[in-house]
Amino acid sequence: MSTLRFTEEHEWIRVEGDTATIGISAYAQEQLGDVVFVDLPQTGKKVEKGKEVAVVESVKAASEVYAPVSGEVIAVNDELAKEPARVNSDPMGQGWFVKLKLANKAELDGLMDQAAYDAYVKGLH
């Protein structure tokens, strides 16, 4: 069973076993506008919770993507190099950025579930 959680910086994380897939929310990609480039880390890189894991550039701005949890990068979405617009068209699916091997599952505890995230985003308007 996968668990979907969100951060206040609008990253999402889907956890299956000890693997976490990370991307940005539909709200985040709407705020960015058309994504034109994504800078992804190398496989094997260790990332810390709250630190930069990727950079996404749009026609409006460049934004850091922060790791919702600590872990080791075990896969990157190479398709985004050829087709960065996937972040816009399918942010919660084909637009994922990286997969991590979780270092500490307890770090998931502070993240929001879908209902809490939806309420958080509603409060931003």
Q: What are the extents of the domains in the chain? A: 3-105+112-122
Find out whether 47 and 76 touch, Cβ atoms under 8 Å: no
Q: 3-105+112-122 domain in CATH 3.40.50.1370?
A: no
List pLDDT tens digits, range 36-82. 999 999 999 999 999 999 999 999 989 999 999 999 999 999 999 99
State what percent of residues in the chain have pLDDT above 90: 96
List pLDDT tens digits, range 19-33. 999 999 999 999 999
Q: How far is Cα of residue 64 from the mean position of the Cα atoms in its chain?
A: 10
User: Whole-model pTM?
Assistant: 0.94
C-alpha span between 89 and 8 (Å, rounded): 22
